[in-house]
Amino acid sequence: MTEKIAHLLRHGQPDTNVAIQGWVRTKRELKEFTFLEINDGSALANLQVVLEPSLPDYKDLLKKLNTGASVEISGTLAASPAKGQRIELKATTLQLYGEADPETYPLQKKRHSMEFLREIGHLRARTNTFGAVFRVRNACAAAIHQFFQDRDFLWVHTPIISASDCEGAGEMFTVTGFNLNKIPRNEAQEIDYSQDFFGRQAYLTVSGQLEAEVMATAFSNVYTFGPTFRAENSNTSRHLADFWMGVRVMAFCDLVGDMDLAEAFLKHIFKTVLERCPEDMEFFNQRIDNSVLATADNIINNQFERVTYTEAIALLEKAKKKFEYPVKWGLDLQSEHERYLAEELFKKPTIVTDYPVEIKAFYMRLSDDEKTVRAMDILAPKIGEIIGGSQREERLDVLEQRIINQGLNPKDYWWYLDLRRFGTVPHAGFGLGFERLVQFMTGMGNIRDVIPFPRAPLTVEF
């Protein structure tokens, strides 16, 4: 049986026989023997393997063992005399699975730019940086499940294809079975979706929230975790067209309960990742952003700042900084404003609450002032909005009016409105932008570098 390199580096004992599988990172030929560095993705560090000339086919193999080649090696572990590693593997057999031609294999041992690595998206996971990113991403995902499962939340699976626009922002991709060369039209020359696969227009979901609310009115505490899609034409370092969202909805809960849980949730994820991926996090701190570990410590050990939108606007108006976009009560906060608050002013995650009704989604609970809704955004230093949440409108008449005011048709939301007709309860929830979390955690500058296969305008190659 083969073993994972991460396990051997941590627990491997000298004089035991083991086998590993992986890819050659580097080869160093000396007179008496040859060193290989092997990586199998389980850890940032490689396992050093020593090949001696007594190995069958030694000369011939050496020619073929170039960076990128895949191998299985068995041998005996030995204490390593070299600095920085506890253990190495003395090979007794080596099976070469696939060669990688050094003339054409793009990942030679040197630093490559992120832009270049995006062009070889099918190979970049084999680099140190992307190995660390995807291990941390995995640990974040596992921490999300653990957090909710430990608190008896039900994981519910919401659909990817949906007929309703959850955010009411019209940024949806249509899903159709039409032959695009022969789209049926009605007399008014509009597309006749009644003849389409679903008998009406359908979309890729922008958020599983409305469906999650259905489940919350039966199970109280539920969460979803899966991909969501937005047809925003935003070519930024923080937007994707296909991103993952962790949504939680809790019945019998108000905005304060929502914020408290969101804060505990982020703290839990940071803590878990530091425990599970210390080498990867150290790597990010050294090579990507030297504030990553201090940020994690700050998140875990300090309370988040909480201000209302109205207070935030006053603070922004007082700021000595020149902003590109105007600051005025009623206008949405731009990312420069969000970053100023979280990064420069408070220097920690900042929860902004009670936004103007006009700039938020229809399902957020209207406050007594009728000017604001019980919304909250959690703003992270360097990233801006990382979580968006709210207490939901549980009053039928108010919700119907909000839908109409936003130019939407209450008929399209009949089942959502039914939740208020039958056994309505105060409830609240939030959605975490999963890639923004991974960005925040790792210090990676571009959101396209924290998801294996980024989708963005004009980007769908891999």
Which part of the chain contacts ligand 4AD (CB under 6 A), choosing from 54-62, 119-127, 187-195, 426-434? Answer: 426-434
Which part of the chain contacts ligand 4AD (CB under 6 A), choosing from 25-33, 85-93, 177-185, 239-247? Answer: 239-247
Find the shortest distance in angstroms from Cβ 23 to ligand 4AD: 31
Q: Which of 386, 372, 366, 378 is nearest to 426 (CA)?
A: 366
Which residue, 139 or 432, is less far from ligand 4AD as judged by CB?
432
Find the shortest distance in angstroms from Cβ 103 to ligand 4AD: 39
Instruction: Output 401-405 pairs: Cβ under 8 A, ≥24 positions apart.
Output: 402/357, 402/362, 402/363, 402/366, 403/362, 405/362
Here's the x/- map for ligand 4AD, 337-376, by CB under 6 A: it reads as: ----------------------------------------
By a kind-dependent CB cut-off of 5 to 8 A, residue 436 interacts, out of Mg ion, ligand 4AD, none, with ligand 4AD
Helix or strand or coil: residue 133? helix
In order of 65, 68, 71, 104, 407, the CA distances from 101 in angstroms are 9, 8, 15, 6, 59
By a kind-dependent CB cut-off of 5 to 8 A, residue 387 interacts, out of Mg ion, ligand 4AD, none, with ligand 4AD
Query: b or e along 303-332 (b: 16 or more beta carbons within 10 Å of the residue's beta carbon)?
Result: ebbbbebbebbebbeeeeeeeeeebeeeee
Residue with tokens 């150290």: 282
Span 361-420, contacts to Mg ion by CB under 5 A: 388
The secondary structure element, H or E, covering residue 244 is strand 242-251
Span 154-173, contacts to ligand 4AD by CB under 6 A: 166-167
Bridging pattern class, strands 174-175 and 350-356: unpaired
Give the integer Cα–Cα distance in Å for 12 and 18: 9
Give the integer Cα–Cα distance in Å for 379 and 112: 31
Nearest residue to ligand 4AD, by Cβ distance, number only: 433
Looking at residue 332, the DSSP 8-state letter turns out to be: P
Find the shortest distance in angstroms from Cβ 403 to ligand 4AD: 15
Crossing angle for the helix pair 128-150 and 278-287, nearest 10 degrees? Answer: 130
By a kind-dependent CB cut-off of 5 to 8 A, residue 352 interacts, out of Mg ion, ligand 4AD, none, with none
Which part of the chain contacts ligand 4AD (CB under 6 A), choosing from 34-42, 176-184, 241-249, 274-282? Answer: 241-249
Give the integer Cα–Cα distance in Å for 380 and 63: 50
Which residue, 68 or 246, is less far from ligand 4AD as judged by CB?
246
Greatest extent of the chain over all pairs of C-alpha atoms, in Å: 84
The secondary structure element, H or E, covering residue 114 is helix 114-119
Find the shortest distance in angstroms from Cβ 174 to ligand 4AD: 17
Which part of the chain contacts ligand 4AD (CB under 6 A), choosing from 51-59, 83-91, 176-184, 386-394? Answer: 386-394
Find the shortest distance in angstroms from Cβ 230 to ligand 4AD: 4
By a kind-dependent CB cut-off of 5 to 8 A, residue 165 interacts, out of Mg ion, ligand 4AD, none, with none
Here's the x/- map for ligand 4AD, 433-452, by CB under 6 A: it reads as: x-xx----------------
C-beta separation of 323 from 316 below 8 A? yes
Which residue, 73 or 379, is less far from Mg ion as judged by CB?
379
Structure tokens at 429: 């929830």
Give the integer Cα–Cα distance in Å for 60 and 96: 11
| Binding residues for ligand 4AD, total number by CB under 6 A | 23
Give the integer Cα–Cα distance in Å for 309 and 374: 11
Find the shortest distance in angstroms from Cβ 242 to Mg ion: 17
Find the shortest distance in angstroms from Cβ 135 to ligand 4AD: 21
In one-letter notation, the amino acid at residue 254 is D
Question: Is 429 among the residues that bind ligand 4AD (CB under 6 A)?
Answer: yes
Which residue, 346 or 440, is less far from ligand 4AD as judged by CB?
440
Which residue, 225 or 243, is less far from ligand 4AD as judged by CB?
243
Q: Which of 349, 322, 359, 348 is nearest to 337 (CA)?
A: 322
Tell me which of 34, 39, 209, 372 binds ligand 4AD, using CB under 6 A. 209
Structure tokens at 320: 């000595």
Find the shortest distance in angstroms from Cβ 410 to Mg ion: 23
Which residue, 381 or 388, is less far from Mg ion as judged by CB?
388
Phi first, then psi: give them for residue 194, nearest 5 degrees.
Answer: -65, -20
By a kind-dependent CB cut-off of 5 to 8 A, residue 247 interacts, out of Mg ion, ligand 4AD, none, with ligand 4AD
Q: Which of 36, 60, 59 is nearest to 49 (CA)?
A: 36
Residues lying near ligand 4AD in the complex (CB under 6 A): 166-167, 207, 209, 230, 232, 239-240, 243, 245, 247, 385-390, 429-431, 433, 435-436
